[in-house]
Structure 1
Amino acid sequence: MSLKGLLRSVMYQDRVTVRRQTTTFDDEGAACSKLGDVYTDVPCKLSQYGKMLASHQDDRAFVLSNDLRLCCDPAIDIRPNDVLMVTHQGELWRLRAGKAFLYPTHQEIQAQKAGESNDSVGIRRAGKQAQQDSTGDAGET
C-alpha cells in the first residue's frame, strides 16, 4: 500500500465539504454572489496545531478563535477563504480556510473558526444542524 493510501485509510476519519463563493448573474444581468459546494464528503483529518484559545473584545461581544489544521489529499483544490464544513467525531465545524501547504502525499490547510464566546466556538452537532448549514443558514450573526 502506498503512503498516500495508508494516510487515507488510517488518518482520514473526518469528512469535509468545501464551499466556495462564486459570482452568478440574474435574468437582468446583475451580479449575485452565491456559496456553492465544490467538493462533498472528502476524507480528511481535523486537528489542532495551537493549544492556545485566542480571544479579544470587539464592539459587540467577546470573540474567541481556535486555530485548527485540516489535512487531506493534495489533489483537492482548497483556496484561501473557502468555507469548510467538517464533520469531526459526530460534530459539524464551520471553518474558513487559509493557504494550503502542499506535500507530495497530503496537504495541510490552516483553518479558523471565530465567533462570539456564547457560540460554542463553532461546534455543532451533526444531523439536523448539518442540513441547515448545507442550505446556507449557519446560525451565525
Structure 2
Amino acid sequence: MTMPWNRCKNLLMKYMYKDRVTVYRQQAVKDDDGADDYTVQAVYQELPCHLTQYGKEMQSGQNPREFFTKTDLRICLDPKYDILPNDILTITHDGQTFQLNAAKAFKYPTHQEISVRREEVMRYGRCYYDNKPCNSSD
C-alpha cells in the first residue's frame, strides 16, 4: 500500500503554509569589462511556507566592540524546491518580514525543513543586520 503523499501535501498547503518566502542566491555573472563577478538574484518568489520556532533559545554574546544575537528558526515548504545552504530567504510572517540565511534542507516526501538563522549586531546602541540598520519590520 502506498502512502497518500499528495493528500498530505495538499493539507499542508491548505492549513499550514500561510507565510511567503522569496529565495535569493548568489549567481556568477560577467561585469561590463567581461570579468567574473557575483550578484544576488531571486530564484523563487512568494512561495507558500511555514516559519516556526522550534525550541532553541536565542544565543547572544559580546566582544569589545559589539553585542550580538543569533536567532534560529525553521521554515517548512514543498520539497519540489531546491533551497541551498547560504541562500538568503526573505520571509513574510503575520505582517513581519524576516531576512534569514538557510542551512541544509532536509527533504521528506510531504515537505522539507530548513533551519534558518538571523544574526544581529548592536553597535553604539543601534541594531545592525548585514551591516545595515535594523528596522521594526526586519
Q: TM-score, normalised by structure 2?
A: 0.84
Residue 93 in structure 1 maps to residue 124 in structure 2: no
Q: CA RMSD in A?
A: 2.0
Task: Answer yes or no: is 1:81 the counterpart of 2:90.
Answer: no
Bigger Cα Rg:
2
Give the paired residue count: 126
How far has the Cα of 1:59 moved from its partner?
Answer: 4.8
| Matching residue within 30, 37, 41 for 1:32 | 37
The share of aligned pairs that are identical, in percent, is 44
Alpha-carbon distance in structure 2 between the residues aligned to 1:54 and 1:62: 11
Which contiguous aligned blocks of 4+ residues in structure 1 show a shift greater than 2 angstroms? 117-125
Can you give the 5+ residue segments of structure 1 that lack an aligned partner in the other structure?
A: 130-141
Q: Deviations over 1:14-47 (max 9, x none)?
A: 0000000011012322111100000000000000
Q: Which has a greater percent of helix?
A: 1
Structure 1 contact 26–32 (Cα < 8 Å) conserved: yes
TM-score (norm 1): 0.82
Relative to structure 1, the CA distance from residue 103 to residue 11 in structure 2 (aligned partners, 3 Å threshold; closer, same or farther) is same
One-letter amino acid matched to 1:89:
D
Segments of 5+ residues of structure 2 without an aligned counterpart are 1-5
